[in-house]
């Protein structure tokens, strides 16, 4: 089964959402803080979020038929991001600064761009899902 350009670009958009939500809600120069950094200080909550978001990124990578090398890189970034949360205080501080989801999402996006070209986010990506945006466009 061959992955379509539409499915690959959907994976690209999901990766963009996770990237922004996890590590770039509040941009600070070349860095940013997102849910992953804030939840790093809540034992247990960060591990759940980190593994969940990482699992979703890997799922989207498989759905987009990313290369094995890309999937391994993504898994390494996610594992490193999740492992830091196990060390109290120092690990939490490292997790706040380490942008594992950002790097994993970007690896997937580059893989998709290489095969299918660039994708664009809908202008109001934070307000509605793709399905809702499409339904609203059709209704007009």
Domain locations in the chain as residue ranges: 5-139
In this model, does residue 105 exceed pLDDT 60?
Answer: yes
Is the pLDDT at 2 greater than 70? The verdict is no
Characterize 64-101 residue by residue with b for buried, 16 or more Cβ atoms within 10 angstroms of its Cβ, and e for exposed: bbbeeebbebbeebbeebbbbbeeeeebbebbbebbbb
Residue 98 has pLDDT above 50, yes or no: yes
Q: What percent of the chain has pLDDT over 70?
A: 85
Long-range pairs of 30-37 with CB within 8 A, sequence gap ≥ 24? 31/97, 31/99, 32/99, 32/102, 33/96, 34/101, 36/81, 36/95, 36/100, 36/101, 37/95, 37/96, 37/97
| Banded model confidence at residue 81, pLDDT cuts 50, 70, 90 | confident
Residue 124 reports pLDDT greater than 90: no
**pTM for the model:** 0.81
Q: Are 66 and 108 in contact, with CB atoms under 8 Å apart?
A: yes
- % of the chain residues with pLDDT over 90: 47
pLDDT tens, 31-76?
788 998 888 888 888 889 999 999 999 999 999 999 999 999 999 9
């Amino acid at each position: 089964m061959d992955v379509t350009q539409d499915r690959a670009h959907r994976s690209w958009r999901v990766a963009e959402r996770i990237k922004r939500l996890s590590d770039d809600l509040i941009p600070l120069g070349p860095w940013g803080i997102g849910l992953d950094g804030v939840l790093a200080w809540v034992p247990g909550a960060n591990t759940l979020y980190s593994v969940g978001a990482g699992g979703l990124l890997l799922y989207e990578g498989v759905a987009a038929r990313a290369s094995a090398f890309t999937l391994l890189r993504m898994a390494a970034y996610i594992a490193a991001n999740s492992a830091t949360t196990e060390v109290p205080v120092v690990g939490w501080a490292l997790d706040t600064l380490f942008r594992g989801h950002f790097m994993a999402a970007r690896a997937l996006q580059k893989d998709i761009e290489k095969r299918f070209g660039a994708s664009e986010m809908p202008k109001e990506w934070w307000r509605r899902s793709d399905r809702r945006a499409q339904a609203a466009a059709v209704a007009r």
